[in-house]
Structure 1
Amino acid sequence: MGEPKVTQVADGVHFAESGSVNWVLLTDGAAVTLVDCGYPADFPAVRHSVEATGHRLGDIAAVLLTHAHVDHIGGLPALLDEVDVPVHATAPEAAHARREFLEQATPLDVVRNLWRPGVLPWAVHIVQSGALKPVKVPTATPFPVEGRLDLPGAPVPVATPGHTTGHAVYHLPEAGVVITGDTLVSGHPTSIKRGPQLLHPFFSTDQEQVVIALDTLAALDADVVLPGHGGVHRGPISEAAAQAKRGR
């Protein structure tokens, strides 16, 4: 799907944008934590993003998931074919990644929303990206510890259920960064808005829970937001959450 745009937003924090979805690389010396992994067709871009930070796939210490939708785990099977790395998420989201259940917009949901601006071209693009492929991660497991993880970047998982039952964001306190996944985004091809916002409700399992999760985000100490969709947002996370809540 082409080379991603990789931006270093803080020391050891790299934001990769593929055009339709984002992922994050946390580096510490020779080791990397990869947060999310794009669509199936994004795997070459994931490889490029790792190499753009001066590393290789074998340097990945772990993969963390915000959630297990195909646009965030699609590149993982190809990655795991090349390197043996642990994949972690919250306990419910690890089960979701193993496909013990599935919480994801269906093709019928998409068809019902084709009238919305941007949905048709977005739908064509994601099909080309492999969105219809059955993807699962049988090795996904819950975090080995609670709180700060002993991984490059020292991320702190914070549960934000709503978009999916086990969705989590990752707080990087020293860097003042929050990796928000799909709890809070800054843009999407199906939205005419720009800036902090929620995805359309049809993308989420429980939109009211997503709104509640914004309060969880607002309590974090951060002024850089790295969303699953859209560009980097700079400014207090509390203000970004408030803007998204106003615009819902």
Structure 2
Amino acid sequence: MNQIPLPRSAEAENHQADKARDDGTREIAPDVAYRQLAIVNVVFYGQANAGDGNWVLIDAGVFGSGPAIRDAARARFGQNGRPACIVLTHGHFDHIGVLETLSDEWDVPVYAHPIEHPYLNGTQSYPPPAPEVGGGLLARLSPLFPTSPVDVGTRLHELPADHTVPFMPDFRWIHTPGHAPGHVSLWRERDRLLIAGDAIVTTAQESVYAAVSQEPEMHGPPMYFTPDWSAARESVRAISALSPETVITGHGAAMHGGEMRAALTQLARDFDTIAVPKGSRYAPSMD
């Protein structure tokens, strides 16, 4: 077993309201929306029409997604669409594709967990992927994906040690390593909303078809880019213990409600069976 199917009724989307807007996003809360850009999601935090400096971009998409992010930001927030900052869940290529371009253009700070900084300041590459896992085309193509670091220079800052999130006053960051050593998820207690990055995903990211069709399934982190499965297991258990009402992941549709939580509970309980790939160089055995 390597997936937990979810019903479409668990999708946390208001298609009528989304269709009425022209920013291309899917709104999950009045101040939280996301947009699918190719195989990955970026998240926008802030009230609509907030204006420059009053919103936050979470993650920075794949290479070439700059125009879509700019267009969505201008349409959603008005003025020039310039945020207060960029917050990263982690630094894999599909989450920092236009990070250098946008942070330079907007001249804004970039916040990430300090353990993730070597991959964002040009000093360290990620370990190679594991194309032998998952059985899908994206997994087989993963050796072609960039693992080298980007460098955002002096704009790079550590997330605060007190777990607050800059310019996102209701959110706290949670260290959820495994997929990346400095991976974080963002949690808001008042409405139990979790921005999970790739600690969990809601589609079979190894498969091109699933990544495009967005069939709702509960999964652990993408198999081909996860080097520490023991840490990933503990991160999923920590996320499940929060009992979120809504989750936005880096890949797949946002999900909510009891059916989502039941699937997350099952994933946490049976993680080694459901999520850990057989034959991976990074999971020869699990303790």
Taking structure 2 as the reference length, what is the TM-score of the superposition? 0.73
Q: State whether residues 188 and 199 of structure 1, in contact with CA within 8 Å, keep that contact through their aligned partners in structure 2.
A: no
Per-residue deviation at 1:201?
A: 3.2
> How far apart are the structure 2 equivalents of 1:185 and 1:49?
23
Match of residue 178, structure 1, among 165, 189, 194 = 194
Per-residue deviation at 1:216?
A: 1.1
* Aligned structure 1 segments of 4 or more residues deviating by more than 4 angstroms: 130-134
Q: State whether residues 127 and 147 of structure 2, in contact with CA within 8 Å, keep that contact through their aligned partners in structure 1.
A: no
Q: State whether residues 159 and 166 of structure 2, in contact with CA within 8 Å, keep that contact through their aligned partners in structure 1.
A: no
Partner of 2:176: 160
- Aligned residue runs from structure 1 range 45-194, under 5 A: 45-55=68-78, 58-106=81-129, 109-110=130-131, 112=132, 116-119=135-138, 123=141, 131=146, 135-138=150-153, 139-152=155-168, 154-191=170-207, 194=216
Partner of 2:237: 215
Give the unaligned 5+ runs of structure 2.
1-21, 276-287
Q: State whether residues 120 and 149 of structure 2, in contact with CA within 8 Å, keep that contact through their aligned partners in structure 1.
A: no
Sort the Cα spacing of 1:104 and 1:32 in 2 relative to 1 into closer, same or farther, 3 A. Answer: farther
Give the unaligned 5+ runs of structure 1.
none
Tell me, what secondary structure is at the counterpart of 2:218?
Answer: coil
Sort the Cα spacing of 1:52 and 1:131 in 2 relative to 1 into closer, same or farther, 3 A. Answer: farther
Taking structure 1 as the reference length, what is the TM-score of the superposition? 0.83
Q: State whether residues 128 and 147 of structure 2, in contact with CA within 8 Å, keep that contact through their aligned partners in structure 1.
A: no
Per-residue deviation at 1:154?
A: 3.2
Deviations 1:70-118 (A, max 9, x none): 1101111110231111100111112322132222544xx44x45x8233
Match of residue 224, structure 2, among 188, 197, 202 = 202
Per-residue deviation at 1:199?
A: 3.3
> How far apart are the structure 1 equivalents of 2:115 and 2:164?
19
Q: Name the stretch that deviates more: 154-163 or 191-200.
A: 191-200
2:55 matches 1:36: no
> How far apart are the structure 2 equivalents of 1:170 and 1:50?
20
Deviations 1:116-165 (A, max 9, x none): 23337x849x97xx857863332322114512334146321000111111
Per-residue deviation at 1:225?
A: 0.6
Q: State whether residues 37 and 62 of structure 2, in contact with CA within 8 Å, keep that contact through their aligned partners in structure 1.
A: no
Q: Name the stretch that deviates more: 140-149 or 23-32.
A: 140-149
Q: Name the stretch that deviates more: 42-51 or 190-199.
A: 190-199
Query: In the alignment, residue 40 of structure 2 is paired with which amino acid?
Result: V
Tell me, what secondary structure is at the counterpart of 1:60?
Answer: coil
Sort the Cα spacing of 1:205 and 1:63 in 2 relative to 1 into closer, same or farther, 3 A. Answer: same
2:37 matches 1:15: no
Partner of 1:231: 253
Coordinate RMSD, CA, aligned: 2.9
Q: Name the stretch that deviates more: 92-101 or 206-215.
A: 92-101
Tell me, what secondary structure is at the counterpart of 1:170?
Answer: strand
Sort the Cα spacing of 1:165 and 1:57 in 2 relative to 1 into closer, same or farther, 3 A. Answer: farther
Q: Name the stretch that deviates more: 28-37 or 137-146.
A: 137-146
Per-residue deviation at 1:215?
A: 1.3
Aligned length: 238
> How far apart are the structure 1 equivalents of 2:56 and 2:222?
29
Q: State whether residues 173 and 185 of structure 2, in contact with CA within 8 Å, keep that contact through their aligned partners in structure 1.
A: yes
